[in-house]
Amino acid sequence: MIKEQHRAEKKAKRRGEIVRTALKLFAEKGFYATTIPEMARDLKMSVGNLYNYFSSKEILAQEIIREISAYLGARIREVNEAELSVREKIRRIVTIYFETARDEPEMIDFFLRVYLSNREVFHEGCEGMICVNEFVTEIMIFFDDGVASGALKNQDFFSAFGLFMGYLGGMVFLNGENILPRALEEYVDDISENIYNALKVS
């Protein structure tokens, strides 16, 4: 019993390491330039063994996006469930996004450089928004609450979603290219205010 549990734990740990390593490589070099042997080398495991965990590079990439979505979704869910004004919630979501870009830059890089750029990788298994479901669901709930409370304008979901996420993605991109004169965190207040103004009821 105990032995079995131990083995499962070990396996899960190994799996996590694979995901993390793959994430780093994908984010750095892109999906196609990264190879399974390279990953295996970094992980100090055999190619064959790695395939025991993930049967293809595509499946691995899909797993990564799902984990990123779950990670962001869980953090935004905390915001959604807190008793806060819509304005404050926007600030928190922006903060979460930028913190993630700072502390886990590969996550956001992966999202922008792989998930959004190599759509063909995600066609089978990640149709529509399935693999980012948790994240999108929380954003939907945020919007829904906002409209229900009378704070946000009732509009098309994608117009609002694009405005919010496009803006944040753009800022992270500029930051990554070292174009921003100030640190990303210093933009939180302005950006939150802009988003709020763009989404609130007129």
Partner 1 sequence: MRLLWLSALACNGNAHALLNYPHFEEWQEDFEWLYHPLLPSTHAFVEVEEGIEGVEILIVDGTLEEGLVKNRLVYNELLARYAAEAKCIVTVGTCATFGGIFAQGGEGRSGLHFSKERRHGRFDDFWEKTVSLPGCPVQPEVLAGTLSMLRLGEPLPLDALHRPKYFYAYTVHDGCTRNEYFEYKIDEHRFGALEGCMFYEHGCQGTFTHGSCNKILWNGVHSKTRAGTPCMGCTEPDFPRETLWRTSKHMGIPARMPLGVPRRAYLSLAGIAKAFRIERFERPMMEDERG
Biggest alpha carbon distance in the chain? 62
The residues pairing with 200 across neighbouring beta strands, listed in sequence order, are 152
Give the torsion sign (CA, 157, 170, 102, 127).
positive
According to the binding rule CB under 8 A, does residue 165 interact with partner 1? no
Separation between Cα atoms, residue 78 and residue 52, nearest integer Å: 35
| 63 or 134: CB nearest partner 1 | 134
Minimum distance of partner 1 from residue 157's CB (angstroms): 4
Q: How much is the CA Rg of the chain, to the nearest whole Å?
A: 19
According to the binding rule CB under 8 A, does residue 148 interact with partner 1? yes
- The correct pick among 72, 94, 136, 172 for binding partner 1 (CB under 8 A) is 136
Separation between Cα atoms, residue 187 and residue 10, nearest integer Å: 41
According to the binding rule CB under 8 A, does residue 137 interact with partner 1? yes
Going from the C-alpha of 19 to that of each of 35, 54, 101, 121, the distances in angstroms are 14, 10, 18, 16
Choose one: 42-50, 56-64, 91-99, 148-156; the region binding partner 1 (CB under 8 A). Answer: 148-156
According to the binding rule CB under 8 A, does residue 164 interact with partner 1? no
Give the 3-state secondary structure of residue 182.
coil
According to the binding rule CB under 8 A, does residue 133 interact with partner 1? yes
According to the binding rule CB under 8 A, does residue 36 interact with partner 1? no
Residue ranges in contact with partner 1 by CB under 8 A:
77, 127-130, 133-134, 136-137, 140-141, 143-144, 146-148, 152, 154-158, 160
